[in-house]
Amino acid sequence: MRRRPSLKWQNLHIPSHIILGVWSLVVLFPLWVMLINSFKDRLSIYQNPFGLPKKWNISNYGVVLSDGDFLGYFKNSLVAVVLSLVILLLAGALASYALANWRGRISRALYFFFIAGMMLPIKIASIRLLELVKLLGLLNTIWALIPIYVAMGLPVAIFVLTEFIRAVPYELTEAAVIDGAGRFGILARIIAPLLRPALATVAIYNLVPYWNDLWFPLIFINDDRAKTVLLGVTRLFGQYQTDWSKVLAVLTLSAIPVIALYLTASKQFIKGLTAGAIKG
């Protein structure tokens, strides 16, 4: 009689774990190379780019933090990204709440109008955006990036948040209306707590392109005092040679906020991604 495999082995999903393990190595390998090479000198990087440094050189970080203005660049990036995310989440939640509760042809047209922004890259309008930023007097300031970033992330925010709000049981909002709560009261007390996974998903999804954006800072900002981290890194690229150890040290420091935010909100992010897969 053939022995059936135990339930324990049936639930392991070994092929899935193998695929995820290989994919994790593919994703982590560039981070590993960036980290270990940031502790090497310039010659050691070319001699052994993938191995551990023979002598750990932490002076690269000291030079970057003391000689350059990278703390100022870091502050500029942090201000632009944080304000953009706050405005995006607030505007996206309000717009999604309105679109989810307003049923009609006009609301559907507005919803698809926002969704169409996911298919049109905003970079194709760079010249017009430059003219608009110059007209508003925001050129060479980090404030020029905030409306651009909000416009970049709004279609995805409305797409995700609207579906979450529509999935909220109508009985909850109906009970709140009976208790005398208004529209904003329902949004603040009932909808907003339930939206935390979706808000975390939208925030992390937009954080990476915001923080790693080089295109719009390169177009809008020439003043050194308003440059972002990645735009400041370009100062380390020379015409004939580049100090890659210092470049990788700056990139390692710039990756810390993204990783820290993901680790902080990872549970909410995963809930937001899998919420639609466990319904029905």
Selected residue with higher pLDDT from 67 and 82: 82
Number of domains forming the structure of the chain: 1
Q: What is the average pLDDT value for the chain, to the nearest integer?
A: 81
Q: Is this model's pTM higher than 0.85 or not?
A: no
Work out the percent of the chain whose per-residue pLDDT is above 70: 87
Q: Is the pLDDT of residue 255 over 60?
A: yes
Instruction: Average the pLDDT over 201-227 and give the result.
Output: 88
**Contact call for residues 195 and 90 (beta carbons, < 8 A):** no
| pLDDT tens column, 19-37 | 888 988 888 888 888 888 8
User: What is the average pLDDT across 145-157?
Assistant: 92
What band does 278 get if pLDDT is binned at 50, 70 and 90? very low
pLDDT bucket at 249, cuts 50 / 70 / 90? confident
Burial class (CB in 10 A: 0-12, 13-18, 19+), 107: middle
Q: For residue 116, what is the domain's CATH number? A: 1.10.3720.10
Residue 59 lies in a domain: yes
Evaluate if residue 134 carries a pLDDT over 50: yes
On whether residue 178 sits in a domain, the answer given is yes
Structural domain contains residue 27: no
With respect to residue 20, please indicate whether it lies within any of the assigned structural domains. Answer: no
Check pLDDT > 80 for residue 169.
Answer: no
2 domain residue, yes or no: no
Assess whether pLDDT exceeds 70 at residue 194: yes
**Does 53 reside within a domain?**
yes
Please state, in angstroms and as integers, the Cα–Cα distance from residue 30 to each residue in 34, 49, 130, 252, following that order: 6, 11, 34, 11
In a domain, 203, yes or no: yes
For residue 40, what are the domain limits?
36-277
Within a domain: residue 98? yes
Task: Identify the pLDDT of residue 277.
Answer: 42
According to DSSP, residue 275 is labeled G
